[in-house]
Amino acid sequence: MNTNNTIKEKLLSHSIKPSLQRMAVMKYLSEHRTHPTVDVIFNDLSPLIPTLSKTTVYNTLKLLSDQGAILSLNIDEKNVRYDGETTTHAHFRCKKCNKIFDVMEETMNTTTQDYIQESKDFQITECHVYYKGYCKDCEKKLN
């Protein structure tokens, strides 16, 4: 579980001034590994913070993403999703239930990434790997 001090330290380490709203959004993302949208985060936090607006959530997510404190995912064609886990990993989206799952780096084939990093032609600053298909629960329902 993330304490307020841990959340505050993470924000400060990314040059983000902690505020009640920023800490609440950061804590939410670190505790909810569901890759939520702006609407989901707003709907879940607004009862706890009555003065919270959807614009504030959107602006906070943009700031956190721009500063590298969270990941902004474009795996869903309809909504941007957000991830509090910033270690290197890929994502898998089920085409039926639309859930997004983390695919951790140790299970990925890193041949292409290793090649690019060893190449003198590129300087990698960001990498997004998305897989799409059917999760095991939805695949069972399809068969």
Q: What are phi and psi of 53, to 5 degrees?
A: -115, 160
Give how far Cα 12 sits from Cα of 2, 67, 102, 125, 141, Å.
15, 10, 26, 21, 46
**Contact 42/62 with Cβ under 8 angstroms?**
no
Give the pLDDT confidence score for residue 104 in this predicted structure: 79
State the pLDDT at residue 112: 64
Where does the pLDDT of residue 107 fall: very low under 50, low under 70, confident under 90, or very high at 90 and above? low
The pLDDT value recorded for residue 2 is 65
Query: If we measure between CA atoms, which residue out of 34, 30, 12, 38 comes closest to residue 70?
Result: 30
Would you state the structure tokens that stand for residue 133, as one six-digit string?
A: 């298909």
CB-CB neighbours of 63 under 10 Å = 17
What pLDDT score does 40 carry?
97
Question: What confidence tens digit (pLDDT) does each residue in 13-61 have?
Answer: 999 999 999 999 999 999 998 999 999 999 999 999 999 999 999 999 9
pLDDT recorded at residue 128: 80
More confident residue, 143 or 60: 60
* pLDDT (tens digit per residue) in 59-90: 999 999 999 999 999 988 889 999 999 888 88
* CB proximity list for 26: less than 8 A, separation 6 or greater: 7, 10, 11, 64, 69, 70, 84
More confident position, 22 or 105: 22
Residues 6 or more apart whose CB falls under 8 angstroms from that of 97 comprise 135, 137, 138
Q: Per the confidence metrics, is the pTM higher than 0.85? A: no
- The pLDDT value given to residue 25: 97
pLDDT in the model for residue 18: 96
Q: Which residue in the block uniquely carries the two structure tokens 């991830």?
A: 83
> Domains of the chain, with CATH numbers?
4-82 (1.10.10.10), 87-142 (3.30.1490.190)
